[in-house]
Every structure is written in C-alpha cells, then in structure tokens.
Amino acid sequence: MRTFWKDERGASVIELALIAPLLMLFTVGIIDIGRIGFANSTIKRVAVQGARYAGVRGSEKPFPATETEVVDYVKSGATAMPAAALSVSVVWEPNNSRGSTVTVQVDYQYEPLALGFLPFGPIQLRGTSTQTIS
C-alpha cells in the first residue's frame, strides 16, 4: 500500500485534466474580447459612414437619400456580421434639407462564445453618429 501512495506515474495526466478546461475557457475568453472589440468598432464605423452617406445626399441633391437607402448602405458596410442582426434607425432633424442634421444609430446584440453557458445575456452594442446635411 505504501508504494501505491508514493507512485507518481500518471500525475501529469491528472494535472492536465484539471488545468486544460480552465486554459481553454481562458483562451476562448480572450478570443471573445477581441471579437467584441471588432464588432464594436464595426458598428461605430458603419454608423459614421451611414450618417456621412445621408449627410451628403440632402433633399436639394439630384438623388436625395431615403431611409431605406441609408439602412441598406449601413448593412452592406457591416460585412463581418449578419445584416439581419443589425437594427438601424435614421432620423432627420427637422427634415432632409441643407443645414439640418441626420442621426444614424446602429444596434447589435453580440452573443459571446465563452460566456454562453454562464447566466449572462447577449451584449448590446450601439454606434451613433450625427452629421449636418450639406
């Protein structure tokens, strides 16, 4: 019996079995943080691009921008995420004429990989940009 307790063969396999799940969770967590940062910067970038698109296409221009065109433009710019998952709102204050403002808001619910089994819900990402119509 004494030799059984002193025998250290297989100890490294047990240590690996205890540490490997934590290491995998840590690795996937780091990947998730990078994906959240990428999604957040993409949302903010397409909101700015959408506001710019609407801002240079006011009602005095030959082809003024409509809400549908701005929404389609924003969704086409967010190539790294599904367009159906984006919620885009476009608001002109007070209208679509020169000197007015246009605000584009883009919302996206990010579903994390590593935190999916924890009681955390999806992470709400939002990008907003306001542009003066020229």
pLDDT tens across 15-25, in order? Answer: 899 999 999 88
Tally of structural domains, the chain: 1
pLDDT tens across 76-116, in order? Answer: 999 989 999 999 999 999 999 999 999 999 999 998 887 66
User: Among 13-17, 44-48, 66-70, 75-79, where is mean pLDDT lowest?
Assistant: 13-17
**Average pLDDT over the chain, rounded to whole?**
90
Residues 6+ apart with CB under 8 A from 116: none
Rg of the chain over Cα atoms, rounded to whole angstroms, equals: 25
Is the confidence at residue 119, as pLDDT, over 80? no
The boundaries of the domain holding residue 71 are 2-132
- The residue whose two tokens read 């679509």 is 96
Work out the pLDDT band at 1, boundaries 50, 70, 90.
Answer: low
